[in-house]
Chains A and B, each alone.
Chain A
Amino acid sequence: MTQPAELPRWMDLVVLPAFNLGVALAVCGIVVAVIGLDPAQVITLLVKGAFGSRSGLSYTLYYATTFVFTGLAVAVAFHGGLFNIGGEGQAMIGGLGTALVALALGPHLGPMLLLPLMVLGAALAGAAWAAVPAALQAWRGSHIVITTIMFNFIASALLAYLLVNVLKEPGNMTLESPPFGAAARLPGVHEALGWVGIDWPRSPLNLALLLAVAAAVGIGMFLWQSRPGYELRATGFSPPAAHYAGIWPRRQVMRSMLISGALAGCVGINELAGVQGRLLLDFVAGAGFTGIAVSLIGRNHPLGIVLASLLFGALYQGGAELAFEIPGFSREMVTTLQGLIVLFSGAMATVAAPWLARLYALFRRQEGGRG
């Protein structure tokens, strides 16, 4: 029987994640060396690609925006005691929601009215898609992990059906909806900065970034400063205690999943309103699942999720740069690096905690001996 490791807060929040990331990078370096490349060159290129130029930074932030939404979605459900695997499907349906609003109202409204409605459409559609598994869990006890996984497949099939049979432009061979009107385009950051006279290179980074930051701040305030957030966390930690406190557990299941689905749905804003300008089949591209890793590494805390999203954004962008620069470095290698980081910083995040705790205790004792 080992006692759970006791680390001071600053070590738990800073030293341990940094240590884990270091280990992950070290192992990555070994893998890179094994395939005959220079680890130092690879890491330099990766960091440079992700943060070294304004353009690279913009791409990193653009990827991170999507991960903030899906990461927060997983975290809110997690605080409510639920494991929402359905971010992928909820994001797809969120995109559908935003596309339907854009296509139906686009010709009639200006951007100041249309864009908020599109955000609402994305959030409501994502929430609605999460509501079904949530209700099944709350009233019938169907396990939310299973139902949300299944709803990913259903969402994918539904989107394909609608694109093939309803939304596709006649005569267009690719599976995509007609383009949204100009009013339905969320301005890019380069455009927005251009308005105030700052020159910024063109990139997919758009104003959904601000929405993501607002969502992170809002979720933080909701969870730790509001009564519904208090009730949600109480339920997540201990349903019997919540019941004792007069909190209705079913309502909390619905609440956490609706918020979770709405957040996942906002992926549609970044990808469709911000970049594509039309509805596509696979615009989510696994970001819903990446959100699970992001939330895990970010310890389900909004600030941690923002940082983890930046890490993943950098891996995506830097990895793409690497594949471009070094011929021997394939896309699969990038995936390997991501996998190692998820392994060390997410799945095995507390493995090193007892060692660090012992080291810390040793250090303290020496300090005490001297003092």
Chain B
Amino acid sequence: MPTPPSVAMHGICKRFGAVQANDAVDLTVAPGTVHGIVGENGAGKSTLMSILYGFYQADAGSIEVEGRPARIRGSREAIALGIGMVHQHFMLVDPLSALDNVMLGAEPHWRLTPARQQVRQRLEALMRDTGLQVRLDRAVEDLPVGERQRLEILKALYRGARILILDEPTAVLTPQETEQLFVTLRALRARGTTILLITHKLKEIIALCDRVTVMRGGRVVLDRAIADTSLDALAEAMVGRRVQLGRPSRAAAEAGAALLEAHDLRWRDALGVPRLDGVSLTLRAGEIVGVAGVSGNGQSELLEVLSGMRAPQQGRLKLADAEFAPGHWLDPARARRLGLAHVPEDRHRRGLVLPFVAWESAVLGHQAQPLFASVWGRMKHAAMRRETAAMMQAYDVRPRDDTLRSSKFSGGNQQKLVLAREASTAPRVLLVGQPTRGVDIGAIEFIHGRLRAMRDGGGAVLVVSSELDEILALADRVLVMDRGRITGELPIGQCTEAALGRLMAGSTAVDVE
């Protein structure tokens, strides 16, 4: 063999309590290739990469890096072997400059001024070589997300990484930023860098990778060159059965009467920055409205205002014949009584009380209903448990254990529980934020089916998602939000990924200039 593989892992086993996270996993990555690793949550791909990066020690198995056997006991040793990792949540110190972030922990001189000079020279050379452009003197908190990610990659390369692990790198990027990242990664590959890409977006695997390893239940179930596989084959290998994710029919549903009308919503944060800048929208019976946009452009605030968690400074809202204006805005309890249900974006912070057992979290927001509480304020535990069991049954929440703490369920099952709870009152209007963030493909299919069923039952559904695929699969009408404004409205028939991407990033592009 002329060149040994960059990474060769043999028979890796790792057990956490009762869970066999990795079960005799073999992985061979050829040098200078992009190797995709896909799998659902809990498939063991993060564990495998954590073992390679030294966060965990394998119970059994061996690792070779560039042909030499390696025992990696910590990230420091991984870096010394030329392995770099870019985490999904960036490991950057926000108030420090980009330059200082690269230097942090690897200062070449005890005085910072000469240290900065040396680091700057090397970084500028590296940026010229790789085409990764980052403004080194800006504080990280002032950099757009795409640039922060380039900084993370740069940081890894600066530390001598020849093997780069990227964990869900596109989760936070716009389609344009994703395309730019791919250009960069292809350029790095051309320079001989080996890239390991962890993702659950199969399209990206097809577009970028040379080879792909699919994991399920801690084992490798497929390992193939990209040319020899397809999207459907990958999805099937991941889930273990055939999945139907796309849109069942291209046609938009027939919309009925307006159930929620919002007019000219305006909300400024404490610093006076307009987060909602004159948003108007109407939700109609029998229609799913999708809100597309890069996270942080007012979608969260829109959901909070519409669900009554936040009162805007200006605007009007009409819901089930009740009118609201600032000063006497809707509140969450009132919203529920008026038939509005809300699946919040952040199920950990809001949708569930994580230390509560499932049957306690399953009545959150409905705790005052006569079904669950007597007039004297006594909670009816039997009824709570009965309803929870029914919800878990109807939404296939696993494990089917209503005494398990909410935090112990996987993301998809938590989301199913929240959705089951919010749908249990047969709401007229349903607001859903990031319905399938961190949710497995199998559960995504299920959740999408439920949302469509709500629409077909005459409900008005608002879906906010940063996943364009999701918007395209669900919505009948798409609103695009950018900087607190609705920058475009398209019926689903006219939506393409490219058109939406342009509307989403209209002004973000100016920012990068």
State whether the Cβ of A246 lies closer than 8 Å to any Cβ in chain B.
yes
B349 lies within 8 A of A245 (CB): no
CA separation between A241 and B364, bound complex, in Å?
8
Report the contact-size class of chain B (Cβ under 8 Å from the partner). Answer: 20 to 34
Mask, B10-28, CB within 8 Å of A = 1, is 0000001100000000000
B368 lies within 8 A of A241 (CB): no
B342 lies within 8 A of A237 (CB): no
A240 lies within 8 A of B349 (CB): yes
State whether the Cβ of B328 lies closer than 8 Å to any Cβ in chain A.
no
B364 lies within 8 A of A243 (CB): no
Determine the chain B residues whose CB is within 8 A of the CB of A229 once the complex forms.
379
CB distance from A122 to the nearest CB of B (A): 24
State whether the Cβ of B292 lies closer than 8 Å to any Cβ in chain A.
no
State whether the Cβ of B482 lies closer than 8 Å to any Cβ in chain A.
no
Closest to A239 in B: B349
Mask, B341-382, CB within 8 Å of A = 1, is 010101001111111100010001101100001000111010
State whether the Cβ of A361 lies closer than 8 Å to any Cβ in chain B.
yes
Mask, A1-38, CB within 8 Å of B = 1, is 10100100000000000000000000000000000000
Cβ contact of B360, chosen from A3, A230, A240, cutoff 8 A: A230
Closest to B332 in A: A246
Q: Which of A3, A228, A230, A240 has the most CB of B within 10 A?
A: A230
CA separation between A246 and B334, bound complex, in Å?
8
CA separation between A18 and B355, bound complex, in Å?
25
B interface: dominant SS: loop
State whether the Cβ of A165 lies closer than 8 Å to any Cβ in chain B.
no
Determine the chain A residues whose CB is within 8 A of the CB of B373 once the complex forms.
227
State whether the Cβ of B148 lies closer than 8 Å to any Cβ in chain A.
no
CA separation between A226 and B352, bound complex, in Å?
19
CB distance from A228 to the nearest CB of B (A): 6
CA separation between A6 and B373, bound complex, in Å?
33
State whether the Cβ of A238 lies closer than 8 Å to any Cβ in chain B.
yes
CA separation between A36 and B97, bound complex, in Å?
61
CA separation between A234 and B351, bound complex, in Å?
11
Closest to B310 in A: A243
CB distance from B378 to the nearest CB of A (A): 6
Report the contact-size class of chain A (Cβ under 8 Å from the partner). Answer: 20 to 34
CB distance from B462 to the nearest CB of A (A): 16
B344 lies within 8 A of A226 (CB): no
Determine the chain B residues whose CB is within 8 A of the CB of A237 once the complex forms.
353-356
A225 lies within 8 A of B351 (CB): no
A230 lies within 8 A of B354 (CB): no
State whether the Cβ of A139 lies closer than 8 Å to any Cβ in chain B.
no
A234 lies within 8 A of B377 (CB): no
CB distance from B367 to the nearest CB of A (A): 5
B379 lies within 8 A of A225 (CB): yes
State whether the Cβ of B333 lies closer than 8 Å to any Cβ in chain A.
yes
State whether the Cβ of B324 lies closer than 8 Å to any Cβ in chain A.
no
State whether the Cβ of A271 lies closer than 8 Å to any Cβ in chain B.
no
Closest to B368 in A: A227
Closest to B363 in A: A230
Could you tell me which residues of chain A, from 37 to 56, have a CB within 8 Å of some CB in chain B?
A: none
CB distance from B265 to the nearest CB of A (A): 19
Determine the chain B residues whose CB is within 8 A of the CB of A241 once the complex forms.
349-353, 364
Determine the chain A residues whose CB is within 8 A of the CB of B349 once the complex forms.
238, 240-241
CB distance from A141 to the nearest CB of B (A): 13
Determine the chain B residues whose CB is within 8 A of the CB of A228 once the complex forms.
377
CA separation between A237 and B355, bound complex, in Å?
7
State whether the Cβ of A195 lies closer than 8 Å to any Cβ in chain B.
no
Q: Beyond A240-B349, A245-B332, A246-B332, is A231–B367 a contact (Cβ under 8 Å)?
A: yes
CA separation between A243 and B360, bound complex, in Å?
16
Closest to A222 in B: B377
CA separation between A242 and B307, bound complex, in Å?
14
State whether the Cβ of B336 lies closer than 8 Å to any Cβ in chain A.
yes
Mask, A215-235, CB within 8 Å of B = 1, is 000000000011111110110
CA separation between A133 and B193, bound complex, in Å?
60
CB distance from B470 to the nearest CB of A (A): 22
CB distance from A79 to the nearest CB of B (A): 11
Closest to A244 in B: B350
CA separation between A3 and B350, bound complex, in Å?
24
Determine the chain A residues whose CB is within 8 A of the CB of B334 once the complex forms.
246
Determine the chain B residues whose CB is within 8 A of the CB of A230 once the complex forms.
360, 367, 379
B309 lies within 8 A of A234 (CB): no
Q: Beyond A225-B378, A227-B373, A228-B377, is A243–B356 a contact (Cβ under 8 Å)?
A: no
> Which A residues contact B (CB, under 8 angstroms)?
1, 3, 6, 225-231, 233-234, 237-238, 240-246, 361
A-B contact pairs, 18 of them (CB 8 A): A227-B367, A227-B368, A227-B379, A230-B379, A233-B353, A234-B364, A237-B354, A237-B355, A238-B350, A238-B354, A241-B351, A242-B353, A243-B332, A244-B342, A244-B364, A245-B367, A246-B335, A361-B17
10 cross-chain pairs, A with B, having the tightest CB-CB distances, nearest first: A246-B333, A246-B332, A245-B365, A244-B350, A227-B373, A227-B377, A240-B349, A245-B364, A237-B353, A241-B353
> Which B residues contact A (CB, under 8 angstroms)?
16-17, 55-56, 307, 309, 331-336, 342, 344, 346, 349-356, 360, 364-365, 367-368, 373, 377-379, 381
